[in-house]
Amino acid sequence: MALDTMQELFLNELKDVYNAEKQLVRALPRLAKAAQSPQLQKALTKHLRETEGQVTRLERIFRGLDQTPRGKKCKGMEGLIEEGKEILEEEGAPEVIDAAIISAAQRVEHYEIAAYGCLRAYAQLLGNSEADRLLQETLAEEEAADETLTTLAEGGINQAAVAAGARDEE
Ligand code: FE
Ligand code: ZN
Ligand code: FE
C-alpha cells in the first residue's frame, strides 16, 4: 500500500495495531497462566478483557472509515510475544519468572502506547473526532495497564524475586 497521504498512513497503522491486538488476545492467557502471583494473574486477565474490547473499538473505527476491519501482520508485536514465550520456556524460580513476565508485558504496553499516541495524532489531524475519542479510550487502558505492572513490580514482585535468588544461593 502506498503511503501518499496521512489517511493512508492512518489506515496502514490501524491495520497493524488491529493485528497486534489480536495477537495479544491469543498470547495474554498463556502469560497469565504462567504467572505465580495472583495479583499479576489478575492484572493480565483484566487486560485480556480490555484487549478484547480494544479489538472491538478498532473495528468501529474501520467501519467509521467505510473499511472492512482487516489486519496486517504486526512484526513488532510478533517479536515481543516471541520474547515473552522464551521466558515461559525457561526453568527457574517462579518469583523471578513473574518479574520477567512483567518486563515482557511492559514492553508490549509501551509499544502499544507509542502506536496509539501516533494514531490519535493522525486522527486529530484528519479531523476524525470519533476515532480520536475511541483511540484515547484504548490509550488510557494501555497506560493504566503499564502503571499497574509497575505498581506490582515495585510493590513486592521484584523484591520476592531478589529473595528467591538469595534462597537459591544458600
Ligand atoms: Fe492493547
Ligand atoms: Zn506493529
Ligand atoms: Fe495493552
User: How do the domains of the chain map onto residue ranges?
Assistant: 6-169
1 three-class SS:
coil
Sign of CA dihedral 7, 55, 38, 82: negative
Indicate the helix (H) or strand (E) that contains 43: helix 38-64
Q: Which residue has the higher pLDDT, 167 or 14?
A: 14
Q: Is 126 left (phi over 0), alpha (psi -120 to 50) or beta?
A: alpha
Indicate the helix (H) or strand (E) that contains 29: helix 6-34
Q: What is the pLDDT of residue 1?
A: 65
Nearest ligand by distance to the CA of 80: 2
Total number of residues shown for the chain: 170
Mean pLDDT score, 131-151: 98
For residue 119, give the nearest of 19, 51, 17 by alpha carbon: 17
pLDDT in tens, 85-127: 999 998 999 999 999 999 999 999 999 999 999 999 999 999 9
pLDDT in tens, 24-66: 999 999 999 999 999 999 999 999 999 999 999 999 999 999 9
Single pTM value for the model? 0.94
Nearest ligand by distance to the CA of 44: 3
Distance (angstroms) between ligand 1 centre and the Cα of 59 equals 13
Q: Residue 7 — very low, low, confident or very high, per pLDDT cuts 50/70/90?
A: very high
Domain 6-169 = CATH 2.160.10.10: no
For residue 45, give the nearest of 121, 148, 118 by alpha carbon: 148
Distance (angstroms) between ligand 3 centre and the Cα of 119 equals 15
Nearest ligand by distance to the CA of 71: 2
Mean pLDDT score, 147-169: 91
For residue 56, give the nearest of 133, 121, 134 by alpha carbon: 134
Q: Residue 2 — very low, low, confident or very high, per pLDDT cuts 50/70/90?
A: confident
The one-letter amino acid code at 128 reads N
For residue 18, give the nearest of 65, 58, 48, 64 by alpha carbon: 58
Q: How many angstroms separate the CA atoms of 71 and 62, rounded?
A: 11
